[in-house]
Every structure is written in C-alpha cells, then in structure tokens.
Structure 1
Amino acid sequence: MDISPATLEEIRKRQAAVERTYSPYAARNAGAVRKKDARAEEPVIRPPFSRDADRILHSRAYTRYIDKTQVFSLIDNDHITHRVLHVQLVSKVARTIGRALGLNEDLIEAVALGHDIGHVPFGHTGEECLDGICRQAGVGAFRHNVQSVQFLDAIEDLDLTLQTLDGVLCHDGEKFVGRLVPAGPISAASLRSKCEMIRGGAPVLPSTMEGCVVRAADVIAYLGRDLQDAIEVGLIDRDDDDLAAICRETFGIDDYQTITRTTIDTLIKDLITESFGKAEISFSDEAAEGVKKMQTFSIDHVYNHPRLTSQHEKIRRMFAALFEHYSADLEEEKRDSPIYTDYLDAPWVSREYREEASEGEKVRDFIAGMTDRYFAERFRAVVLPERVRGTYRTEG
C-alpha cells in the first residue's frame, strides 16, 4: 500500500522542521553519500541514516552479536554483558547526548549498532591472537574496527552511507581521547586511507560530530559496566579499597550497585555541558581524569586478571589450528568444508568479495565472524577424531 502524496508531503514538512532545530554542526540527511547508491530509496519515511540502521539490524553480522561476550568469554554467568547488550547501551547513551546537542540521532544509532561487529571470538584476547596469525600469514594487521567495515561494506555489501562507515571505523573506544574534533570531509578515498592508518597503528578521528559522540559513548557505556560485571563474577571484591576510592573521588559513588548508572549519568551530563554549542565533543578535565583512572584500574584488576589471561595460549593455539585448517581447505577446494558451506557459498556473501578477496583474507574473515560457540564447535570438529558408530552382528 502506497502512502498518499499529501501524507508524504506533510511528513516531509515535519522532518524539515526537526532538521531546523539541529545544531549547525549536525550531519544532514541530504548530505548522506553512498559509494553505489544502487537501491531505490524513499527518503521521507526512511531517511538515509535510518535506513543504514535497518540494514545493519538485518545483517547476518549483527545477528552474531548474540553469542559474542564483551569481556568475560570464559566465565558462565547470564547477568554479564554480551556484545548485543553493549551496542544497545552505546546507542542509548549516544542518542541521549545527540538529542541534547541537536545532532542526527539516526546516524548516531546506525554507527552505534554497527561499531563492534568486527569483534572476534574471545574478545580482545581473540583479536590479539588473530592479529599475530594474520601478520605471519601475510594478510596484514588485524583491527576489529577495520573488520567491522569489512563485514558491513565488502562481505555483505550493505551499501551503507560513508558517514556511517566512517563512524564505525573510527569508534576505537579502547583509546580514550578527552576531546574529539571531527576530522573533516568524508569520501571513499578518505575511508580507505583511514583503514590503512589504523592497520599501521596511527590514530584517526571520526569525520562527523555523530561519530565523535558514539566514540565517547562507547567509553561511557563500558566503563562502569565492566567493573560491575567484574564484581558480579567475583574478579573484584565489592569491598576493594582502591576501587572504592576511585569511584568516590571521581564520580561520588559509594555503593558498587550504582557504578554503572552513576558513571553513565555523570559523564553524559559532563559531555553535554562541555560540548554544547561547540564543533567538538569533549569531557571536562576532571571527568577525563576520572575516566583514565577507572580505565587504568580495569586494565590492572580486570582485563589482565589471571582468571582471564591464563587461557591465552590455549586460545592462540585454537586460532592457529583453525586458520591452518581452513587455509588448507581453500587451497584444496574442499567444497564440503564449512568455510564454503557456512560462509563463501552463502547467498548473503557478496559475489565481488568472493572474486576479489585473497584466500588469507577469506580465512581471516570466516574466523573473525564466528561466535564464541561456533568457534569452539569448529575447533572440536577440526581437532577431535570423529567417532564412527558400529553395528552389532549376531550369529544365528
């Protein structure tokens, strides 16, 4: 059923009225750019950045968020954060900030939903393992934010706007920056250049205010949540004096149960206050110092905790075994291998990608896209011998 021209015109007027309330630094829907722009769009009901968010939500890569843990990959607990929850938290935090600053919430949502799609099984430990293997294999450095663009742009070919892809690429919440100034014009060439800079270890910034908001919101969303999860699973004692001092001194937190919500509330208000009416997204010096202290505590007491790092070598061997196995399957063209049946022959994989990607890139992308559960299943299938069920014969 088509919407009547009169209704569309009224909706268009309302949208125009909303855009007139935007900050002068906000991304406009009319400025959205796609590399191909091959699909017909109705920009009134579904503006371009809103359409980006929809395409990401319906992608195969997004569905795999459901079984990718945030930090605690090897700890069973149904109340800790998984990637699918983390990206929703980032989206909520970022849209709250964007609404207050008069920015484009549709673009913010699209960037937030897609920003962590490139994460591999076992989180940052898995990323370190795959990075080393890819370098040895001649594929180049592995970076999860570059991989996010690889999944969304090359593999599934969603034809997202360059603004969304740029925000996804430049999110990098692990490297905290207290003042984010948009990096300038966006083009396909600038996107490729940023990918190479990131692979080489150089810092990059988003080219839109909305991308900067998501990058800041990524930190806000995980900062308190990771600590609260660590307390939940017993990595940190709830009476830890160092944590209590940091929480009290930086954000006035006296009860560990309020770490997440107080951190989020305090930093959102600080960011809005410091950024309002400016062409930048920034924290106050005091808030930035508090973020750094909490990050340092998390690195020392959570991310590098022996319960999380003791299995690193086993995980590295798992990644190496799967990379070697599926490289051999590609070389020998074993069409019944999961790298074909579950990946390369799937209808959602771009034909251009299948024809142009190197074998090493295909193996990298197949492994990077696995969920934690599927990764473990594939490893067992590759390493453990398959049992053959026999039949009993009776002599009559």
Structure 2
Amino acid sequence: MLQPYACLPDASRGRLFPENMSTFRSPFQRDRDRIIHSSAFRRLKHKTQVFVEHEGDYYRTRLTHTIEVAQVARTISGALGLNTDLAEAVALAHDLGHPPFGHTGEDALAILMEPFGGFDHNAQALRIVTRLERHYAGFDGLNLTWETLEGIAKHNGPVDPPWNYALAEVNGLWDLELGTNASAEAQVAAVADDCAYNHHDLHDGLRAGLFTEEDLCGLPVIGECFAEVDRLHPGLEPMRRRHEALRRVFGVMVEDVISVAQNRLAALQPRSVDDIRHMDGPIIRFSKPLYQNLKAIKSFLFQRMYRAPTVIEERRRVTKMVNALFPLFLNRPDLLPEDWQGDAGKARGDEIELARVVLDYVAGMTDRFAIQEYHRLIDPDL
C-alpha cells in the first residue's frame, strides 16, 4: 500500500508526448524499462567510478554502482510506503550523464564548457533522456514521465538559477519546478547513491591496496562493525571478515535513513507529494550523528583514495586526454562519426551549438573508447 505522500502512477502529470497507457506496466515501470534499454545505460558498463574501467574486473563501474543504488532505493522506498518503481527509475537514470573517467572527466568538461553554457552530469542526463536517445518513431529521447524527469533534475535538492543550458532547455519545454524539493522517491534515490558509494569505495580502496582493514578500524561506524564480526566470528578468513564488516556498515546507513524518515514523516504528517515538495528541506536523510560519522569516513577516503598518488597520476593522464579530444573535435567537426555529422552541420557557424554537439559526443564516450580515440587521433604512446 502506497502512502498518501507517495507518487501515485494514476496521478502522474504524464509525458511530454502523450502515449496510450501500457496494458501491463505502470507509467513509472515503463520509465524504468526504457532507461534500462537505452544506449546510455549500456555505456555505463565501461565508464569509471573511481578507477579507470580497464584497471580490474572487480572494481565498480558506473553500471554496477547504478544497479547497487537502484537496489538500495527499492529497499528504502518499500519500507516507507513509497513508489518503488519511481525510486528505481530515478536511481537507474541518475548517472546517465556522467562522461568518461568519472568526476575527473566531469571536472575537465566543466572547465572546457564554461564559455558555452557549462556542464553538469545531472543536466546532461536530462539531455540524454529528452533529446539524445533517438530510437523511437514519435519523439526524441525516452519520453519519460514528468515525475521521473523531476527526479533526475532535483534528486540532490532544489536547483537555483542560473541553470546549466541543458537543464534550462528541458525546463523550458516542461516546468520541472526546480525551486522545490523533489518527490520523496527521488530523495530516496539520492540517499541510496550516498549509501552505495560510501560502501563500495571502501571495498574498492581495500582491494586496490590504498589502505588496510586496520586503517578503517580507527574510523567511526566501521570500527564497531569490524569489532562485531570479530566477536561473532573469531578467526574468520580475511576476505569474509571484510565482507561481513562492510555489509554491516551498509546496513547501518540504510537502517538509519529509514528510521529518520519514519520519525520525520510521523511528525510532519504530509498528506500529498506536493507537501513533500514544499517542505523546508529534504524528508529523506541521514541522522545528524551518522552524517557526522560519514563526513569523517569521506574525509579519510578523500585523502587515502581519491587523492592517492596513483589515482592522482591517472587523473592527470585522463584529464590530458579530455583536454585534447574536446578542442580537436570542436576545430575539426569533420572528424566526428558520420551519424554525428548531421548535428554538427546544423550547428555550423554557431560555435556554442557546435560545442554542445561535441560535448554530447565526448561525454557519451566510455573510458576505453575515449582512450582509443586519443591514441588514434592524437598520441599513440600516452
């Protein structure tokens, strides 16, 4: 049973291009399925999370991260009586706009696009699902419901102007009420993202040898989880010990979010999804004590993982690639693939529009394809 403040499929604001209702699927289930079958979703398989995609089979990619986020979102939304299909759809779409090389690629493209309207991966995800996916006969994009588009745009909170050009473009077509909170389902997707990456970055950092279990035992939450495993399973082999402890860390985060949300919902008594949208801040969040503990964990990861010398060196290498590929295609649009030549031709004479076409192409690259193109077109030895 859905709560009154959940997004109800029958009350959806619909799609930009009207379609008949599906016989067997709700509008949000249909959104979820279209996202899963999109080209951009498949490309997440070869886009990096922290480590460049080719470095090891066990490290998370954007695809495995996205699947983990969707699983957590379904768990939390189900416990709270929210629409699990909408929460899952937003979770599955939340990273579609990420370029190759993770946040390193995003940082490089943001600088390169400053003269042309900026770059933000959330806004780029909206551009993908409203314009760049071109498979359907009746429309560009995936023609997702208003609620899913709202969730992609605002899952991290209200978005104040000035807006990235891609966000402004979509909002100009359909007012996403960017100044309000997102639905509770979209807020769940955002917190699920935090839970997932806090958990798997610990796993990946350990596997990469950037820190040890002993290093983690000095951190809040994590130390208690390792201690509990040692008490319940003394002498457990190292890999099982690691897994048992870190899955408990995951559980602490998820249970905290559910408990805080249940208490806040009981106290505030929202009667509709619009009540959620117009609250003073998000309804779905960590408790203050856990939030402070997670800040300490993130600080540790920042120093020991995201700024590790080997990671910094790789960031330098891939930033050089992005900084070379973008201006190359901007100055030589004839080097773009044939199926991109039409968009480039329409933008001829308009540097801003051409830059946006080039951005769409470069941002859509996987790690391995960006490396291949750099080697083919610029420097075969880097």
TM bucket normalised to smaller = 0.7 to 0.9
Q: Is the 8 A contact 2:222 2:246 kept in 1?
A: no
- Aligned residue for 2:50, secondary structure, equals coil
The counterpart of 2:35, out of the listed 18, 38, 56, is 56
**CA deviation vs aligned residue, 1:46-83 (integer Å, no higher than 9, x gap):** 11010001111111111101101211117722111111
Q: Note if 1:153 corresponds to 2:130.
A: yes
Structure 1 residues 329 and 381: CA distance shift in structure 2, 3 A: same
Q: Which residue of 1 aligns with 2:102?
A: 123
Q: Is the 8 A contact 2:155 2:182 kept in 1?
A: no
Instruction: Specify the alignment match of 2:237 in structure 1.
Output: none
Q: Per-residue CA shift, 1:273-323, capped at 9, x if unaligned?
A: 111261521322222222211111111211111111123333222112211
How far is the alpha carbon of 1:324 from its aligned partner? 1.5
Cα pair 1:166 1:207 within 8 Å, conserved: yes
Within the alignment, does 1:303 sit opposite 2:287 as a pair?
no
Of the structure 1 ranges 359-368 and 310-319, higher mean CA displacement relative to structure 2 is found in 310-319
Structure 2: distance between partners of 1:370 and 1:311: 18
2:61 is aligned to 82
Further displaced range: 376-385 or 302-311? 376-385
String of CA shifts for 1:365-396, please: whole Å, max 9, x gaps.
110010001101111111148xxxxxxxxxxx
- Cross-structure match for 1:246: 219
Structure 1's 67 and 353: CA in aligned 2 closer, same or farther, altered over 3 A? farther
Structure 1 residue 258 and structure 2 residue 261: aligned? no
Q: Which residue of 1 aligns with 2:6?
A: 26
SS in 1 for 2:66: helix
Q: C-alpha distance in 2, partners of 1:259/1:189?
A: 46
Change (3 A) 1:35 1:50: closer
Alpha-carbon separation, structure 1, partners of 2:54 and 2:180: 34
Question: Is 1:221 matched up with 2:196?
Answer: yes
Superimposed CA distance per residue, residues 189-220 of structure 1 (whole angstroms, 9 cap, x where no aligned partner): 543x74xxxxxxxxx77420000001011000
Tell me the distance in 1 between the aligned counterparts of 2:27 and 2:64. Answer: 25
User: What's the TM-score, normalizing by structure 1?
Assistant: 0.76
Tell me whether 1:141 sits opposite 2:118 in the alignment: yes
- Which residue of the partner structure matches residue 155 of structure 2? 171
Distance 2:172 2:99 in 1: 27
CA contact (8 A) 1:22 1:104 kept: yes
Provide the rounded CA distance (Å) in 2 between the counterparts of 1:249 and 1:60.
38
Residue identity in the other structure for 1:165: L
Is residue 2:322 matched to residue 1:319? yes
Cα pair distance change 1:167/1:253, threshold 3 Å: farther
Amino acid at match of 2:80: L
Change (3 A) 1:225 1:329: same
1: distance between equivalents of 2:14 and 2:257? 30
Give the % identical residues: 32
Q: 1:375 aligns with which of 363, 370, 373?
A: 370
Structure exhibiting the larger radius of gyration computed from Cα positions = 1
CA distance in 1 between counterparts of 2:346 and 2:24 reads: 31
**Distance verdict in 2 for CA 1:227–1:359, change over 3 Å:** same
Following TM superposition, by how much is the alpha carbon of 1:250 offset from its aligned partner in structure 2, in angstroms? 7.1
TM-score (norm 2): 0.78
> C-alpha distance in 1, partners of 2:254/2:346?
42
Q: Which residue of 1 aligns with 2:146?
A: 162
Q: Once the 2 structures are TM-superposed, how far is the Cα of residue 226 of structure 1 from its aligned partner?
A: 0.2
**Kept in 1: contact 2:53–2:368 (CA 8 A):** no
Number of positions where the alignment pairs a residue of Structure 1 with one of Structure 2: 328
Distance in structure 1 (CA, Å) of the matches to 2:222 and 2:376? 51
Q: Distance in 1 between matches of 2:332 and 2:15?
A: 33
Cα distance in 2, alignment partners of residues 342 and 375 from structure 1 = 17
| Separation (CA, whole Å) in 1 of partners of 2:292 and 2:50 | 23
Q: Does 1:292 align with 2:295?
A: yes
CA spacing shift, 1:95–1:251, aligned 2, 3 Å: farther
The CA distance in 2 between the partners of 1:235 and 1:249, in whole Å, is 16
Which residue is 2:81 aligned to?
102
| Preserved CA contact (<8 Å) 2:98 2:363 | yes
